[in-house]
Chains A and B, each alone.
Chain A
Amino acid sequence: MRLALRELRRRPGRFVTAAAILTLIASLLMLLGGLLDGLIYGSTSAVLAQRGDVIVYSSGSEQSFLRSRIDPELREVIEEVPGVAGTSGLGVAQLGARVPGAAERDLADVALFGYERAPDGVPDPPEDGSAEGYADESLRNDGVEEGTTLELGPFRTPVRVVGFVEDLEYSGQATLWVDPVTWRDALNENRPGSGLGDGTFQALVVEVEAGTDPEQLAEDLDRATGRATDSLTIDAAAEAIPGVEQQRSVFNQIIGVTILIAVVVVALFFALLTVERTQMYGVLKAVGATSGTLFGGVVVQAVVVTAVAALVGSAIALALDLAIPAGAIPYSLSAARVLSSVAFLLVAAVVGCAFSLRRVLKIDPASAIGS
């Protein structure tokens, strides 16, 4: 092992090529992970921020706010179910917003949320019918400031921005948080036919009493309403947002292929080094080294080279995170993502080395003599 480390120190040039390729792979891996997390976060953060454990949609809505309706009678039924600590109405309307001063056709995409109970990071709702709201920070890129009055949808429903919230998006759109009446009016005006009556929401966020299992409660709720509802835990509801599952699966496949490439790079590089070292390994075996010691040295070298590459790759990915202006592309690099990428690469290094094991075992110590 000391021998392997000494070779790394004395002859770093031999490992530069592999380290450079692995660095690129590491930064690509983290870039992909960051993009995936950013995309998913952009789709789900508004739902994940809800203070509750279960979201109730009406049945047949396919877990989409747009098609779902929960009227006051249904809400009463739900509130009666044992284990429910409280409910709050929630609804969303995805609309184009005109920003004063912007070109006529230059609309900002907005997900207008009407809410009763404030999610994490959002102040309590303004007074009913106030036509005021809290906008996501990313709308600043569209020229929105505090005091700006946005005109929503074809009906140009006015909503004045009175504050900002951070990192709350829905389906890739910036959110705008308003009281239930303003939301309902905007929806009814701009989407004729949606016909939401007073007190009707698209979904209910249900808080669960301590000691109650949210998944079990979701099932109980649907049974109590005679299958008129479709209830999901918050995490399941986030996953059910259109496109989330597909994005995750596509990105994870690309990430999988990238890790596979790392395995191949390590395997080829160290197989080549092992071939080059056949004579040296023969001599070392002759003077008493076991195959295990020699192979251990190969693994140590692969892990060290990969760890260095992963470190540099992380630095590149982090620098990218800092360099990208907020809201320009959905990219969010978390510590968990960096650590899991490093872990995957280290496993790839060990797996890659395994391809050299047979070659190391096959080296005959007797080959050192007579040559």
Chain B
Amino acid sequence: MTQALQMRDVRKTYRMGDEEVVALDHATLTVEADEMVALVGPSGSGKTTLCSIAGALLQPTGGQVEVAGEDITRFDAKALARFRRETVGFVFQSVNLIPFLTARENLVVVDELGRRSGRDARRRSDQLLEELGLSDRADNLPSQLSGGQRQRVAVGRALMNEPKLVLFDEPTSALDTKLGEQVMELIRSEMKRRGTAAVIVTHDDRITRFTDRTARITDGVLEA
């Protein structure tokens, strides 16, 4: 089976004045097709950079990145956008649903950004909302939903394009411990049921018990 993510010797450096800052130093990471990996590290360790490169948001300075068997290292901005639209899912820290769209529309919007499938997208969004226990909330705006419900809508949005890899950026940071655990249970069961790979960026060690494996990153150096 093709691996969901394969990063080889990936480097990312930034220029800050005359100085070169190394955000990611020769990182090598493989995530199997149905594997869940927690990426743990303190803030400023480079975990966001790694996540951005894995999710086709950022181009590496060096090394090679393959997602779902496709080498995206040299993709330009437009090709990266298409790749994200079709192959990757994201759940962001601050949820970031579109405030004037209902729960269902927040899912369908992913379809509307690319070549539209119309009715299929609507059917899929309804199915996802049902699986996530949000059927009766499909027509509610984000402001009418609780924090946990919003996070579940965000998970639904990430799954709309049937991604090979879903990236979670601190998915529980805005939730209390109990709700956080419920959301992690949900994420785990959804990922495992679909056989979808996931990378979960966190600085919270408690998350690691929901994942198959933990990768730690400190000062841009990854210990897988």
Kindly provide the distance from the CB of B49 to the nearest chain A CB, expressed in whole angstroms.
Answer: 8
CB of A10 within 8 A of CB of B100, answer yes
Task: Name A368's contact: one of B81, B82, B96 (CB within 8 Å).
Answer: B96
User: Which of A95-103, A278-286, A317-325 binds B?
Assistant: A278-286
Name the residue of chain A whose CB is nearest to the CB of B108: A2
Name the residue of chain B whose CB is nearest to the CB of A285: B81
Name the residue of chain B whose CB is nearest to the CB of A282: B96
Complex interface: chain B residues within 8 A of A2 (CB): 112
| Chain A 1-32 interface 0/1 with B at a Cβ cutoff of 8 Å (1 = within) | 01100110011000000000000000000000
Complex interface: chain A residues within 8 A of B109 (CB): 3, 284, 287
Complex interface: chain B residues within 8 A of A366 (CB): 52, 57-58
CB of B98 within 8 A of CB of A368, answer no
Q: Does A293 contact B (CB under 8 A)?
A: yes
- Given known contacts A6-B101, A366-B57, A368-B96, is B90 in contact with A284 (CB within 8 Å)? no
Kindly provide the distance from the CB of A371 to the nearest chain B CB, expressed in whole angstroms.
Answer: 7
- Given known contacts A365-B81, A369-B48, is B112 in contact with A286 (CB within 8 Å)? no
Q: How far is the CA of A11 from the CA of B98 in the complex (A)?
A: 12
Q: Does B51 contact A (CB under 8 A)?
A: yes
Q: Does B210 contact A (CB under 8 A)?
A: no
Binding site secondary structure of chain A: helix
Q: Does A290 contact B (CB under 8 A)?
A: yes
CB of A11 within 8 A of CB of B100, answer yes
Complex interface: chain A residues within 8 A of B86 (CB): 288
Kindly provide the distance from the CB of B174 to the nearest chain A CB, expressed in whole angstroms.
Answer: 12
- Given known contacts A286-B57, A288-B82, A290-B81, is B94 in contact with A371 (CB within 8 Å)? yes
| Chain B 69-80 interface 0/1 with A at a Cβ cutoff of 8 Å (1 = within) | 000000001100
Q: Does A193 contact B (CB under 8 A)?
A: no
Q: Does B1 contact A (CB under 8 A)?
A: no
Complex interface: chain A residues within 8 A of B113 (CB): 284, 287-289, 293
Taking CB atoms and an 8 Å cut-off, the chain B residues in 39-57 that contact chain A are 48, 51-52, 55, 57
A contact residues, total (Cβ < 8 Å): 24
Complex interface: chain A residues within 8 A of B161 (CB): 288
CB of A279 within 8 A of CB of B112, answer no
Q: Does A370 contact B (CB under 8 A)?
A: yes
Complex interface: chain A residues within 8 A of B81 (CB): 285, 288-290, 365
Q: Does B84 contact A (CB under 8 A)?
A: yes
Q: How far is the CA of A211 from the CA of B77 in the complex (A)?
A: 62
Q: How far is the CA of A284 from the CA of B77 in the complex (A)?
A: 14
- Given known contacts A287-B85, A288-B114, A289-B81, is B90 in contact with A369 (CB within 8 Å)? yes
Q: How far is the CA of A220 from the CA of B157 in the complex (A)?
A: 78
CB of B93 within 8 A of CB of A370, answer yes
CB of A287 within 8 A of CB of B157, answer yes
Name the residue of chain B whose CB is nearest to the CB of A294: B113
CB of B98 within 8 A of CB of A369, answer no
CB of A3 within 8 A of CB of B98, answer yes
Name the residue of chain B whose CB is nearest to the CB of A14: B100
Taking CB atoms and an 8 Å cut-off, the chain B residues in 128-165 that contact chain A are 157, 161
Q: How far is the CA of A7 from the CA of B101 in the complex (A)?
A: 8
Q: How far is the CA of A279 from the CA of B57 in the complex (A)?
A: 15
Task: Name A280's contact: one of B48, B85, B98, B167 (CB within 8 Å).
Answer: B98
Name the residue of chain A whose CB is nearest to the CB of B160: A287
Interface residues of A (CB under 8 A from B): 2-3, 6-7, 10-11, 279-280, 283-291, 293, 365-366, 368-371
A3-B98, A368-B96 known; 13 new pairs, CB 8 Å cut-off, are: A3-B101, A6-B100, A286-B55, A288-B84, A288-B114, A289-B85, A289-B113, A365-B57, A366-B58, A369-B90, A369-B93, A369-B169, A370-B93
Interface CB pairs A-B, < 8 A, 21: A3-B98, A3-B109, A6-B105, A11-B100, A284-B98, A286-B57, A287-B84, A287-B90, A287-B110, A288-B81, A288-B82, A288-B161, A289-B85, A290-B81, A366-B57, A366-B58, A368-B57, A369-B51, A369-B57, A369-B169, A370-B93
